[in-house]
């Protein structure tokens, strides 16, 4: 039986010019997951990521922490070389285009100044931004405006299911033991889409799941005889070792 662990990347740089990079907390979160798996002797046979920087860096920090925290007696190497990108990067696990989804929700939002002005009018700007993004996501998931987007929800959802199929193919090519565990660093949208599909739920369920997925939270899937089953969702106990302040959602 194969266990596939889908980990959301560490906290990204929300509010910065370049969102696609880990914050200092995001780096710490990835390291904490590595330390936790090492301490609990959780075997990781291979690691994959999407092509986004925040996903790849999460994998790098996880692996460095995991390997350094393992005792010499129990140390083991994954079959993945992080020095060979072609061997572990699967672009199907990339997140959807947040910016496109947001901009397409209102023609005025194509101008950054207009967005800033709208948010500045609110008593609590962060809350207003969250409201606007929620409206944008509802429109994207709604299905009435699919032609507007670079990647519509149905297209993204199809890609997410292909991502799961692709990693299963990659696992088969590695010739691992019959019982193996593979870790994939991806993003919330992909995990939510895959989970909703496994639960036979709608896009609205996927959206609600996405809003609650914690940075470096892990969703477990088992694959046996081509049958795929959800084992656990959004597990993040590794973040409580130093208090709840390490738990974030973006």
What is the per-residue pLDDT for 72? 47
| pLDDT band (50, 70, 90) for residue 82 | low
- pLDDT attached to residue 54: 96
Whole-number Å distance between alpha carbons of 202 and 195: 10
Distance CA 117, CA 203 (A): 31
Residue 77's pLDDT is 61
Q: Which residues contact 184 (CB under 8 A, 6 or more apart)?
A: 4, 5, 6, 7, 47, 48, 49, 90, 93, 167
The model's pTM is 0.92
Mean pLDDT of 30-43: 94
| Residue 76 reports pLDDT greater than 70 | no
Q: Token pair of 101, please?
A: 């989804």
Q: Which CATH architecture has domain 2-95+154-246?
A: 3-Layer(aba) Sandwich (3.40)
Show me where the domains of the chain are located.
2-95+154-246, 97-150
Give the CA dihedral 90, 92, 93, 96, nearest 10 degrees: 140
Residue 134: partners with Cβ closer than 8 Å, 6 or more residues away: none
- Residue 69 is predicted with a pLDDT of 86
Tell me: the pLDDT tens digits for 106-141?
888 887 788 888 888 888 888 888 899 999 999 999
């Amino acid at each position: 039986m194969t266990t596939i662990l889908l980990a959301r990347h560490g906290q990204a740089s929300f509010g910065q010019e370049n969102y696609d990079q880990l914050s200092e907390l995001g780096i710490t979160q990835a390291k904490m997951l590595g330390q936790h798996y090492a301490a609990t002797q959780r075997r990781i046979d291979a690691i994959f990521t999407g092509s986004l920087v925040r996903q790849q860096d999460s994998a790098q920090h996880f692996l460095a922490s995991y390997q350094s925290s393992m005792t010499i007696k129990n140390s083991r190497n994954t079959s993945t070389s992080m020095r060979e990108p072609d061997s572990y990067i699967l672009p199907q696990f990339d997140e959807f285009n947040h910016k496109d989804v947001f901009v397409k929700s209102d023609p005025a939002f194509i101008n950054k100044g207009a967005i800033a002005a709208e948010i500045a009018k609110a008593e609590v700007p962060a809350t207003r931004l969250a409201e606007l993004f929620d409206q944008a996501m509802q429109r994207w998931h709604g299905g009435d405006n699919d032609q507007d987007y670079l990647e519509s929800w149905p297209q993204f959802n199809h890609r997410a299911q292909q991502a799961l199929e692709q990693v299963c193919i990659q696992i088969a090519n590695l010739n691992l033991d019959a019982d193996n565990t593979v870790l994939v660093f991806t993003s919330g949208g992909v995990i939510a889409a895959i989970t909703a599909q496994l639960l036979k739920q709608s896009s609205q369920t996927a959206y609600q799941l996405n809003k609650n997925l914690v940075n470096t939270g892990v969703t477990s899937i088992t694959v046996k005889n081509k049958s795929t089953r959800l084992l656990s969702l959004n597990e993040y106990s590794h973040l409580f070792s130093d208090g709840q302040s390490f738990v974030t959602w973006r």
